[in-house]
Amino acid sequence: DRAAVRRTLVDRAYKICSSWELFHGEVEKIVEMLSNNGYSKNFTYSIINKEITNKVNTTEKLVHEGPEKFKVYFKLPYIGDISSKVKQCISKDLPGKCQLIYLNSYS
């Protein structure tokens, strides 16, 4: 069944993608790959739309299948302006993934 191939690929992409942006990119790759193998783009998009509608209506959510993520805490001494610069660098490179805890002494 040619439709089953499309549904399986979309379902797999839905399960492994951790965001709608990644899922969209994966769907575009699927459509291009199937098109290159002689599958109709219009029929492929209709199946994709049905699959997405079905998943959204059954309140399934995109869930990352990898390891559980935890926030990382760094315990650092407070050293005035240097501490602020460190915080800016970490916040820019790792937004929401870590928390700095400043100490008044070097304990």
Q: Provide the whole-model pTM.
A: 0.51
* 44-64 pLDDT per residue, tens: 888 888 888 887 776 555 555
Convert 63-80 into a string of H (helix), E (strand) and C (coil): CCCCCCCCCEEEEEECCC
Tell me if 66 sits within 8 A of 15, measured CB to CB.
no
* 82-100 pLDDT per residue, tens: 888 888 887 777 766 777 7
State the amino acid at position 48 in one-letter form.
Answer: I
Closest CA to 76 of 52, 50, 98, 100: 100
